[in-house]
Structure 1
Amino acid sequence: MPEIIETTVYRLNELSDDARDKARAWYREDGFDYDWYDTVYEDFQQIAEILGLRLKTRSVRLYGGGSRQKPCIWFRGFWSQGDGACFETFYSYRKEAPRRIRQHAPQDTELHRIADALQSIQRRNFYQLHAEASHRGHYYHENSMAISVERDSPNYQDMTADAEDTVIEALRDLACWLYRQLEREYEYLTSDEAVDEVIATNEYTFTATGRRFG
């Protein structure tokens, strides 16, 4: 015979401190079922274009059928050995990259430094350097990028002695920069303030112990 069981449910701000912490823990564990990193990826794609990078893409199937192209960007995090970010790309000289990157991110001195390093080494090689970066191995960090650098000189001139190391270091530094942006975004989205706002906006309810109800 069916029974009716009544349960008292609470909004987040009605819970005790301990129950509120459990409610937040539920969201942090189960609430990230979406591509929260998309905004970071979108900004990175703009930065890559400014610096002269053409990110490689891969085909991804859509739920409703068909497919779309996604940039070859990967990361693993956070706070474990081997965590990091990497990408696959082609690189060549892009005119006015230092000026444009300062317009795009006026306060980001690390991006300024990377753009300046690439500009300087290109100048010393008559703007003829190009590179390719591909992912290798099972981890995702700056050192999992295999990077080759060449000089496209009509007179078959060799690149300067420091060219290969400079370009490789700049691209790997850019991967480290990307990882820091992802880490910062994740820390913000999982902060008490951000989690409380999402829970309140979605009107989630909980039992007195902080267990998700509806």
Structure 2
Amino acid sequence: MSEIIETTVYQLAELDEPAKEAARAWYREGGFDYDWYDGVYADFEEICAILGIALRTRPVRLMGGGSRAAPCIYFSGFWSQGDGACFEGHYAYARQASANIRDYAPKDAVLHQIADALQAAQRSNFYQLRAEVRHHGRYYHEYCMEIAVGRDSATYQAVTGGAEDIVIEALRDLARWLYRQLEAEYEHLSSDESVDAVICANAYTFTGAGQRFG
């Protein structure tokens, strides 16, 4: 025989603190099943273009059919040893990269240092350096990038002045920088303030113990 059971439900603001924590934990467990990192990726693509890095792309299927080209950027995080970020692409000299990155990100000293290092390496090699960056392995961090540095010289001159190591380290520094941006974005979106705002905006309701209802 069926019966009707009445349950009192609450908005987040009506819960006590332990129940609020339970409600937040519910959201954090399943609330990030979307591309929350798209803004970070878009910023990274702009930075790569300024520095002279053409990111490789891969086809990604769309829900309605068809596909779109997505940049080859990968990451894992943010709690385990070995977490990090990496990318695939082709690097070549970009004019005014040091000045342009300062215009784009005037307060980001790490990006300035990366641009300056690449510029110095190019200068000592008559701006002929290039690099291919490929991901390898099953992890995603800066040391999962295979970076092959060469020189477009009509007379087959070798890379000089330690430039190969400089370019490799600069590109790995860029992957480290990307990971820090992703981590900061995740921490912001998963903070109590941000989670509370999303829960309230969607008018989610909970039991007195903070369990999602409905």
Mapping of residues 1-214 of structure 1, within 5 Å: 1-214=1-214
Shift of residue 155 of structure 1? 2.1
What are the ranges of 5 or more consecutive residues in structure 2 without an aligned counterpart? none
Task: Provide the C-alpha distance between the structure 1 equivalents of 2:102 and 2:59, rounded to a whole number of angstroms.
Answer: 32
Q: CA offsets per residue over residues 112-155 of structure 1, 9 Å max, x none? A: 00000001110111100000000000100000000000000112
Across the aligned residues of Structure 1 and Structure 2, the Cα RMSD in angstroms comes to 0.8
SS at match of 1:110: helix
TM-score (norm 1): 0.98
Task: State how far apart, in whole Å, the 2-side matches of 1:120 and 1:156 are.
Answer: 20
- What is the TM-score of this pair, normalised by structure 2? 0.98
2-structure distance, mates of 1:46, 1:3: 60
Structure 1 segments of 4+ aligned residues over 2 angstroms from their partners: none
Contact 2:121 2:161 in 1 (8 A): no
One-letter code of the match for 1:108? Answer: D
Q: CA deviation at 1:33?
A: 1.2
Name the count of aligned residue pairs: 214
Does the CA contact (< 8 Å) of 2:56 and 2:88 recur in 1? yes
- How much does 1:62 deviate? 1.1
* 8 A contact 2:22–2:211 mirrored in 1: yes
After superposing the two structures, state which structure 1 stretch, 7-16 or 150-159, moved more: 150-159
Q: Distance in 1 between matches of 2:16 and 2:79?
A: 30
Alpha-carbon separation, structure 2, partners of 1:23 and 1:92: 49
Q: Percent identity, aligned pairs only? A: 66
1:39-75 Cα shifts (integer Å, max 9, x gaps): 0000000000000000000011111111111000000
CA distance in structure 2 between the partners assigned to 1:28 and 1:67 by the alignment: 29
* Cα shift at 1:79: 2.1
The answer for unaligned runs of 5 or more in structure 1 is: none
